[in-house]
Amino acid sequence: MPAELANTVAAPVRRQRAADTVACACGLASETIQAHVYNEEAFQYFLSIERLRIEAAGHHVLLALVDLKRASDPEERADVDLVQKLFHALRASLRETDIVGWYREKDVVGAVLPQFGGSRVSASTRRVGQRLCQGLAERLPATLARRLEVHVYQVPPVDQN
């Protein structure tokens, strides 16, 4: 990742964070699994870029959130193997172009699914939610998968267009 991007993403950081759960090669994204997994600052940066694209092009973005807080205790959420399995399962359930990372570090995993448009966005939201739930259930230990909360949101909501 270019140094300019790293500086741009790091500039708004208000507090120093502990090291990421998953080893980060560039400080912004993990390369220990098949695709990049962005830390919270980088993920929020990419989400803000997609929001700007929405304003310019009139498309929708789907934001999928997987809440880990109720699914596991803090020690379990810090388990590198478990986190890698979760990100792998999420990535395997999405398109290659979707952005995956920490929406809220160690509590909520997020995925930005860009370029959704037209009147079928609501149907797409339901389909994506079902696909994520099914993909996580197939790829994660059953005891964990049952406790995950998956939410998919349209950005912006349909009624605001």
Nearest to 63 by CA among 116, 139, 118, 123: 116
Question: What is the structure's pLDDT at 44?
Answer: 95
pLDDT digits (tens, 9 = 90+) for 96-150: 889 999 999 888 999 999 876 655 667 888 999 999 999 999 999 888 888 889 9
Question: Could you state, in order of their start, the residue ranges of all structural domains in the chain?
Answer: 3-160
Q: Position 159: which residue type?
A: D
Phi and psi, residue 52, nearest 5° = -65, -40
Q: Using the predicted structure, report yes or no on whether residue 13 has a pLDDT greater than 80.
A: no
DSSP 3-state percent helix, strand, coil across the chain (nearest 5): 45, 20, 35
Who has greater pLDDT, 7 or 105? Answer: 105
pLDDT digits (tens, 9 = 90+) for 24-45: 334 455 544 445 789 999 999 9
Split at pLDDT 50, 70, 90, the class of 57 is confident
Q: Using the predicted structure, report yes or no on whether residue 160 has a pLDDT greater than 80.
A: no
| β pairing state of 60-67 and 108-116 | antiparallel
Q: Which fold has domain 3-160?
A: Alpha-Beta Plaits (3.30.70)
Which two tokens mark 74? Answer: 């803090």
Q: Using the predicted structure, report yes or no on whether residue 152 has a pLDDT greater than 80.
A: yes
CB 16 within 8 A of CB 8: no
- Rounded to two decimals, the pTM is 0.73
Residues 6+ apart with CB under 8 A from 64: 94, 110, 111, 113, 128, 129, 132, 150, 151, 152, 153
Q: Using the predicted structure, report yes or no on whether residue 91 has a pLDDT greater than 80.
A: yes
Question: What is the structure's pLDDT at 89?
Answer: 94
Residues 6+ apart with CB under 8 A from 57: none
